[in-house]
Amino acid sequence: MSDCLFCKIANATIPAKIVYRDETVLAFEDINPQAPTHLLIIPREHIATLNNLTDDNQHLVGHMAATGAKLAKEKDHAEDGYRLVMNCNADAGQTVFHIHMHLLAGRQMDWPPG
Ligand code: AMP
Ligand code: ZN
């Protein structure tokens, strides 16, 4: 989608500190980190919110989660722990409408989240 920030990162129109990429997803550093490790994992395909998942694209979310777990392990957070978060629409605080999974790690997390 031409006016989508994360599509622009996916097609390299806008720069980002990309840490992982494959045929269907990529991961990059969040511009406003909320933890010592704060990565965003996105599908290359534009999907606005979790409400737009279909039988054809839902496999991407599993791959995003597996990628987050792999990156957490690579960054040595697997044992201490980490959080994978997806926000959907206004009440959850979604601000970029191209689905993304936050990988947060490197500090104690609060529960319930604010
Ligand atoms: P959410 O509030 O769940 O929609 O998360 C959007 C995230 O995107 C926030 O954590 C922002 O800090 C992050 N973000 C916004 N613009 C950029 C950018 N250009 N590069 C990297 N991260 C960004
Ligand atoms: Zn997009």
pLDDT tens digit sequence for 17-63 = 999 999 999 999 999 999 999 999 999 999 999 999 999 999 999 99
Nearest CA to ligand 1 atom 16: 31
Residues at CB less than 6 angstroms from ligand 1: 5, 16, 30-32, 40, 87, 93-96
pLDDT tens digits for range 63-104: 999 999 999 999 999 999 999 999 999 999 999 999 999 999
**pTM, whole model, 2 decimals?**
0.98
Clarify whether 102 is annotated catalytic: no
The pLDDT > 90 percentage for the chain reads 97
Pick the CATH number of 5-105 from 3.20.20.120, 3.40.50.1820, 3.40.50.11810, 3.30.428.10: 3.30.428.10
Task: Supply 43's token pair.
Answer: 């599908």
Secondary element (H or E) of residue 65 = helix 59-74
DSSP strand pairing (18-21 vs 25-29) = antiparallel
**Ligand 1 centroid distance, CA of 52 (Å):** 19
